Structure 1
Amino acid sequence: MSLGVWLTFLMASFLVSVSPGAGAINTMNSGINNGVRSAFPTILGLQLGYGIQILAVAIGIGTVLASSTTTFSFIKWMGVAYLIWLGVQKWRSPGSLENSNSEENTKNKQFWQSAFVNLTNPKATVFLVALFPQFLSNSSTSSYMPQLLLMGGTLLAVDIIVMFCYAALASQLKRFVNSTSRMKLMNRAFGSFFIIAAIMLAAYKKT
């Protein structure tokens, strides 16, 4: 892969990561509730889910998932149900400024919740299946695997940076959430965002 092609792919990776979605909402929710450093498990969880999607596409499973209407629908509706569940949980949150869970349990919850958010997003699979072939060299002297590893690593690195920026942006709002009523309002706002993301995912159809 030439430098020019990689730079183009780098720009595409940035545009994909910066576009608002369930992952960004989840990261901002962690940022405002726990701060930038404490959002690290959330971001790692998102990368685990994203990385599995990338690996699946790289070894060809993604093509099968993207072409199978039944499998695509099953994963999509799992994702829709999970996002709605997250939204309802945020709406029902009492808005306490105290964290009643242990730190370790909270980190584990953040990590696996985020991983599942990305794992149940078939839009990412369809996107990767469509994106990767556009940048793979057709030269017989080029090996596909090094190119796929480079593109996968680029996607993950860019997404980590962008998600940290989202977490930092959200953490700046924490100074304004200094009462139980404001925290409750913020929780309901993020709960609504999760539900909106679920509606958008439900409306998504393969072309």
Structure 2
Amino acid sequence: MDLIATIFGDLQPSLLGSFVLASVLMEITPGPNMAYLAILALSDGRGAGYAAVAGVATGLLVVGLTAALGVGAAVSASPLAYQTLRWGGVLYLLWLAWEGWRDADEASEHAAQGSSLGRFFGRGLITNLLNPKAFAFYIAVLPGFLALDRPVVPQAIGLSLLFVAIATTIHLGIVTLASASRRLLSDQRRRRAMRRVLSVLLAFVALWLAVRTAA
């Protein structure tokens, strides 16, 4: 309990709320994980989808904790590193927003399907361990939500754990929804409109972050 209190007690409430919003928007914007999990659930059922979610969560956790320790150390040692990562995060969020808007009309792609729950888990795990976007989030986006007047390593670990929890919850929802509603996910116009609205919101989060974390 003391360890949990130490990690999450260092998180600044105002930045915590914006981090949750950014994480949710990034996760519900259609992307590789979302497309793969949705199509997997539609074609192979909830069991396969949940196994893949477990693999994705494990991969995100490994990448997150590894990156968090490195990011925390770098930010503690250099204000320049903080500013570099901060602006990198703003630009990365804006790029994701633009990519989401630009690719709203494109059809979703998914990975080849496996033949067992263990294989689905392994595919989700490996995909995220080798996913540059996962590393980019932890290295570029997360530092912008750190409060420099508090120990940064516990904050980085806490935000990483929070992101994994948010991502896993959303992925479970995607699998559940996909297995229950084929019509909702097959409507191209609805999918395009949703993606563009989320892209605009993500761009606003990026601009807010640039203003909120200015020295």
TM-score bin, normalised by smaller chain: 0.5 to 0.7
Counterpart of 2:26 in structure 1 is 26
Query: Which residue of structure 2 lines up, in the alignment, with residue 53 of structure 1?
Result: 68
* Corresponding residue of 1:136: none
- Judge conservation of contact 1:91–1:188 (CA < 8 Å) in 2: yes
| Structure 1 residue 88, shift from structure 2 partner | 0.8
Q: Which moved more, 1:169-178 or 1:185-194?
A: 169-178
- In structure 1, which of residues 66, 73, 85 is the aligned counterpart of residue 83 of structure 2? 73
Q: Does 1:44 align with 2:44?
A: no
Aligned to 2:205: 197
Aligned with residue 193 of structure 2, among 177, 185, 188: 185
SS in 1 for 2:20: coil
Corresponding pairs, count: 181
User: Any conservation in 2 of the 1:42–1:110 contact (CA below 8 Å)?
Assistant: no
- TM-score by length of structure 2 reads 0.60
Runs of 4+ in 1 over 6 A off after TM superposition: 100-104, 151-155
Identity score, percent: 13
2:97 pairs with 77, 87, 106, which one?
Answer: 87
Structure 1 letter corresponding to 2:26: N
Compute the displacement of 1:132 (Å). Answer: 6.1
RMSD of aligned alpha carbons: 4.1
Matching residue of 1:160: 164
Q: C-alpha displacement at 1:44, in angstroms?
A: 3.0
| Equivalent AA in structure 1 for residue 59 of structure 2 | L
* Equivalent position to 1:123, from 141, 144, 149: 144
Q: CA deviation at 1:7?
A: 4.6
Structure 2 gap segments, 5+ residues each: 39-48, 114-122
CA distance in 1, matches of 2:102, 2:71: 36
Report the CA distance between 1:206 and its aligned residue.
5.7
Q: Which moved more, 1:109-118 or 1:7-16?
A: 7-16
Question: Please, which runs of 5 or more residues in structure 1 have no aligned partner?
Answer: 134-147
Partner of 1:6: 3
Closer/same/farther in 2, CA of residues 43 and 182 from structure 1, 3 Å limit: farther
- Tell me how far apart the structure 2 counterparts of residues 41 and 128 of structure 1 sit (CA, whole Å): 30
